Amino acid sequence: MTDAELRTMVSKTLTCRIDKRENCSEKMEQFLNRCFYHSGQYDSKENFVELDKKLKELEGGRVANRLYYLSIPPNIFIDAVKCASSSASSANGWTRVIVEKPFGRDSESSAALTRSLKRYLDEDQIFRIDHYLGKELVENLSVLRFSNLIFEPLWSRQYIRNVQFLFSEDFGTEGRGGYFDNYGIIRDIMQNHLLQILALFAMETPVSLDAEDIRNEKVKVLRSMRPLLLEDVVVGQYKSHTKGDVTYPAYTDDKTVPKDSLTPTFAAAALFIDNARWDGVPFLMKAGKALHTKRAEIRVQFRHVPGNLYNRNFGTDLDQATNELVIRVQPDEAIYLKINNKVPGLGMRLDRSNLNLHYAARYSKEIPDAYERLLLDAIEGERRLFIRSDELDAAWALFTPLLKELEERRINPEYYPYGSRGPVGAHYLAAKHNVRWGDMGSEQ
């Protein structure tokens, strides 16, 4: 590809979304003129020496920093890092590397990847990117809890009955099955995105907002967690389903997926944190593809009011009367709190209402994309939202025994129709821990 071809390609998706002030086209032109294409092999030292030469010409002797973004298959990470580190590091500024997930398939492969990376880079040069941590509402989680007096005292087993982390997509693998089949939904979503959000949610107050202080607290949460047992997990796989005139394919209809694949496209799990704050509180996770809706949210269900004066007004379903805090990460970002109130009128009829902070209504600004935030953080050396190697080890330690057991025993997933709410087993799992999924009611 020539430089001109690359610039044409980039210009098709380049926008001035976040800063709509004047000179947009001028700024875009300036940016495109600084985009260059250089071809070479990932494992060729000579090619990286050529790249270094080209970069030095462009840098013109100024203090220059280099950030390598490895959006490449994991099996060639190490080759690229080795060559970049030895032959194309910045001479007078910093050199950093962004690594895209997957960070291995289990504890062993993840540890091997970390060891290899650390042969050529220091820990503070490695930025493991998890785009979910860059989302606005995940960023707001700590602000909500630590800067609002009404929430921090309630953030414990005393007041919280259960916490749910829900992730669903309303489409299947759509031709990406080859990649997905090797990993499955637990590795793809739970072990990283949802577990990271859980750690941020459940951590103790850090000493400061410094990256290391926050990451220290997250590691403590992960290390306090009980190993996952098979009886606390439900796995599913979507099957084909006809709705009206449209037939939706099964997971195994994807040409890139083996016909006998047992890879889960859905999983639900109950996790427990064995520490003083969270002892006995079920943390439920649910993630799946080809479900009825696209969403990602955290639902905090509070305990029933003891000796509630209004019990008879609620009838038998006390769950309808409990407060719930919902943090909707996507789509349509919002934070809302479900409260009970009286319906206006002469009778005593109670109703549930939402105190709602709907982002689009409250803020006219466009919300930056998670990757934009994380790339800027990597350039500025802000590590709060990136995963440290001991965090990664602790996360894998939690999930690896379960993943091995699923694969060695060839556990059959429970099948669910494309576009449904997922396998029935997920309801039994929730009921076993005295929980009702928050996304199942008619009003959510």
Catalytic annotation, residues: 193
Q: How far is CA 389 from CA 89, 131, 228, 429, in A?
A: 22, 17, 21, 32
- Cα 444 to the chain's mean position, in Å? 22
Pick from 101, 104, 189, 199: nearest CA to 142: 199
Separation of CA 76 from chain center: 24
CA triplet 381, 382, 387: central angle to 5 degrees? Answer: 105
Best CA proximity match to 85, nearest among 37, 58, 118, 61 = 118
CA distance 206 to 217: 6
Facing residues of 243 across strands?
246
Which amino acid appears at position 254 of this protein? D
